[in-house]
Structure 1
Amino acid sequence: MAEMTHPAAPPNLPALVKAAFERARANGDLEYYPTQVAILSLNSIPFKLRFSPALALKPKASKPQEPHGKAFNPFENPSPAMLIADLPPSHRLVLNKFAIVPEHFILVTKEVKPQAHILERDDVAATFACVQAYRAEGQELFAFFNSGPHSGASQPHRHLQLLPVERMKDGLGQVGNGNQWSILADRLAESERALPFRVFTARAHSAMTVEEQHGAYLELYRCAVRAVFPDRDVSTEGEAAISYNFAMTSSSMVLCPRTAEGATLRDRAGEKTGVVSLNGTVLAGTALVKNQTEWDALRRDPDALMDVLKEIGVSP
């Protein structure tokens, strides 16, 4: 019986991503939105806040012209200008068309598969291969997956997002306490910190087999479902029973059950100042706002962000 082929990442992946990003940006094939950055201290956890007013002007996805027409799917037949590499047999890598972190790229399934379904073995294997390809070059990659209506998911075609950690640090050199920030997922795997929502963690290492990688993810998923629905039988195939974010680095896997995409931001007087929405980058210890009022309010009162975090998941 022939051995199954699992996705493998090109050994020069960091250079391929960098070249593709620079080429696409120079040619106007993608939009890069520069940000301002600040570090907030939440229960001694350094949390990175980015502000991108231009992102609020990002064009909305076009809706189908016909009543039952098919919505545009940017991942089904990606433009050659956005393609980084094929990962046979099942995946490909494309650039994120709307980036606030340089070299932000995306792992997509070649076959159209649902974002709301549980990740399959090759989804996890392909992600793991990309993370290890960066690690082999002395670099780190933060990968995350948004699944379900409360997770920050925006595209129904299955995809995971990948961010070079060094590019996530862009701008921190100009911030007084910028060197305090590092990927939250890795600190969670080392020891539980004072987060106001539950997360489930597992160690990752370069020698893991494909079965061990997927098995670790499935066990985190089972734990998360039981945290939301203690008495439910947990299926590990098909549509997920909960909304959640999953993150992977070279040393950790983290899964966070989600009960809300975001929450209302209020000032000390209890007045509404905006709404903060969070996706899987919350597991990196980062959040994004798009208007000046929210940016000013959170820098003035970091506890307001902690109040938002209390509402997005399952209480510890």
Structure 2
Amino acid sequence: MSEKIEINTFEELRNLELFELIVKIFNEAQKNGDLTFKEAINFEIIQDKESEIEYEIKIVEGLSKRPNNRASEPGSKEYNISNEKIKDIQKNNPFLKPEPELTIIDSIFNKYRLILNKFPNTKYHFLLVTKEFEKQDSLLKPIELQIIHTILENLNNNKNNKIINNNGEEVKYFSFFNSGPESGYSQFHKHIQFMMLPNNFHIYQEDVIRGVKYFIPKEIIQERRPLLYSNASFKHFILKLKNDSIDEEDKKDSLAILYMYLIKRVLNIFKEYQEDGNGDNKNTQISYNFLMMSDWMMIIPRRSAKFENIWQNSLGFMGLFCVKDEELKDKVLKVGFSKILQECGFPMEKDEKDIVYNEYGY
């Protein structure tokens, strides 16, 4: 069992030897059988011919054992979750009282914890969770965005704390948040996940933001609309992060402004979708995937949690496909990455970069 750690300032979080702590606790938990993980050996890196996006597909043993603790199943018309249903969810909530053996940081600002994923997709896969129950469908708060970004800074940008794999290659972390019933989450308690990218894995987001300077978006100015990867089959929006914040308050404000702008885009897409007669009704609950690295954030509106029986969360839109068995892997390869992501998200339009969404309302 690790020593209890409490973080009360961003400076403490930024300077903590976090990766060494994660490795130590993960290795102990794996050795003692406190988490379910087996290194994937059956994986492939494939460049999709349609989109030119690089994808990794692999079989993850823990997926078939991971518990499902959702408020409603994908495709359900049940939008209003009763208090009784919430109580039932709480009975099986693994995040309210996480196992000490899986706890990395016991307290961040008295409201959050860092814990290992008990059924990780990759080594050193961990979560930021709220201490008290909050719904996964709630928005990210400014302080949560700030914590996420500070953790990524610690892991990716600290010159004295670079993560080097066994081949001597630098490894990068990214974070993701699945929100809404069609976003692909399995736990209803609010949690943000952190994972390392595969070795030598190229992500298209880097191509999109290369050479771009930070800007606050504005719909009526084309050069200040969110960025996108034009070859992708699914709607998505990317923004460059500010890298020269004056202080912590400035950073928090900047992250919050960018995030809420992306949320507004998603809201407008759902509104148009319903007005065109595609939504089930006006109460269709908003779903999206949110991804972040040290220098960008991205949002993907979601209309379905799965295509046929191929379940999808944020990872697919990062180019990472994790499946539970060989049969599902073969099906993904047969259907195609672009088709699956297009059906789970919203189809990219040919003139997407020229579309002006409602700037002031939804």
Normalising by structure 1, we get a TM-score of: 0.80
Partner residue, 2:92: 72
Structure with a larger share of its residues in strand: 1
CA contact (8 A) 1:199 1:257 kept: yes
Partner residue, 2:319: 285
The answer to whether 1:15 aligns with 2:23 is: no
Shift in CA distance, 16/194, structure 1 to aligned 2, threshold 3 Å: same
* Alpha-carbon distance between aligned partners in 2 of 1:248 and 1:221, rounded to the nearest angstrom: 14
Question: Among residues 236, 242, 265, which one is paired with 1:199 in the alignment?
Answer: 236
* Alpha-carbon distance between aligned partners in 2 of 1:80 and 1:55, rounded to the nearest angstrom: 20
* 3-state DSSP of counterpart to 1:143: strand
Partner residue, 1:108: 129
The answer to whether 1:55 aligns with 2:92 is: no
* Alpha-carbon distance between aligned partners in 2 of 1:23 and 1:90, rounded to the nearest angstrom: 26
Aligned length: 279
Partner residue, 2:339: 307
CA contact (8 A) 2:68 2:187 kept: no
One-letter amino acid of the structure 2 residue matched with residue 246 of structure 1: F
Partner residue, 1:254: 298
Structure 2, unmatched stretches of 5+, are 1-7, 71-83, 164-171, 211-227, 246-250, 275-282, 349-362
Question: Among residues 208, 212, 219, which one is paired with 2:261 in the alignment?
Answer: 219
1:98-124 Cα offsets, whole Å, 9 max, x none, are: 012000000011221111011111111
Q: CA deviation at 1:277?
A: 1.2
One-letter amino acid of the structure 1 residue matched with residue 179 of structure 2: S
* Alpha-carbon distance between aligned partners in 1 of 2:120 and 2:63, rounded to the nearest angstrom: 13
Please, which moves more after superposition, 117-126 or 287-296?
Answer: 287-296
CA contact (8 A) 2:310 2:332 kept: no
One-letter amino acid of the structure 2 residue matched with residue 260 of structure 1: S
* Alpha-carbon distance between aligned partners in 2 of 1:226 and 1:210, rounded to the nearest angstrom: 24
* Alpha-carbon distance between aligned partners in 1 of 2:111 and 2:203, rounded to the nearest angstrom: 29
1:83-102 Cα offsets, whole Å, 9 max, x none, are: 10132232110000001200
* Alpha-carbon distance between aligned partners in 2 of 1:185 and 1:108, rounded to the nearest angstrom: 26
1:116-137 Cα offsets, whole Å, 9 max, x none, are: 0111111111111100111212
The answer to whether 1:158 aligns with 2:222 is: no
Q: CA deviation at 1:154?
A: 1.2
One-letter amino acid of the structure 1 residue matched with residue 55 of structure 2: F
* Alpha-carbon distance between aligned partners in 2 of 1:245 and 1:62, rounded to the nearest angstrom: 18
* Alpha-carbon distance between aligned partners in 2 of 1:96 and 1:160, rounded to the nearest angstrom: 11
CA contact (8 A) 2:69 2:188 kept: no
Aligned-residue identity in percent: 25
1:135-170 Cα offsets, whole Å, 9 max, x none, are: 2123422100000111111111111000123xx33x
* 3-state DSSP of counterpart to 1:156: coil
CA contact (8 A) 1:150 1:260 kept: yes
One-letter amino acid of the structure 1 residue matched with residue 33 of structure 2: G
* Alpha-carbon distance between aligned partners in 1 of 2:69 and 2:344, rounded to the nearest angstrom: 29
Partner residue, 1:40: 46
* Alpha-carbon distance between aligned partners in 2 of 1:93 and 1:188, rounded to the nearest angstrom: 31
Partner residue, 2:289: 245
* Alpha-carbon distance between aligned partners in 2 of 1:292 and 1:16, rounded to the nearest angstrom: 34
**C-alpha root-mean-square deviation of aligned residues, in Å?**
2.7
Shift in CA distance, 219/71, structure 1 to aligned 2, threshold 3 Å: same
Shift in CA distance, 61/277, structure 1 to aligned 2, threshold 3 Å: closer
Q: CA deviation at 1:313?
A: 1.1
CA contact (8 A) 1:117 1:240 kept: no
CA contact (8 A) 2:59 2:322 kept: yes
Shift in CA distance, 184/18, structure 1 to aligned 2, threshold 3 Å: farther
Partner residue, 1:268: none
Shift in CA distance, 164/59, structure 1 to aligned 2, threshold 3 Å: closer
Normalising by structure 2, we get a TM-score of: 0.70
* Alpha-carbon distance between aligned partners in 1 of 2:142 and 2:69, rounded to the nearest angstrom: 32
Q: CA deviation at 1:258?
A: 0.3
CA contact (8 A) 1:6 1:89 kept: no
Question: Among residues 110, 114, 120, which one is paired with 1:93 in the alignment?
Answer: 114
The answer to whether 1:138 aligns with 2:162 is: yes
One-letter amino acid of the structure 2 residue matched with residue 9 of structure 1: L
Please, which moves more after superposition, 199-208 or 243-252?
Answer: 199-208
1:154-209 Cα offsets, whole Å, 9 max, x none, are: 111111000123xx33xxxxxxxxx4x32344344446241111101111244341
Shift in CA distance, 29/150, structure 1 to aligned 2, threshold 3 Å: same
* Alpha-carbon distance between aligned partners in 1 of 2:288 and 2:68, rounded to the nearest angstrom: 23
* 3-state DSSP of counterpart to 1:310: helix
* Alpha-carbon distance between aligned partners in 2 of 1:205 and 1:311, rounded to the nearest angstrom: 32
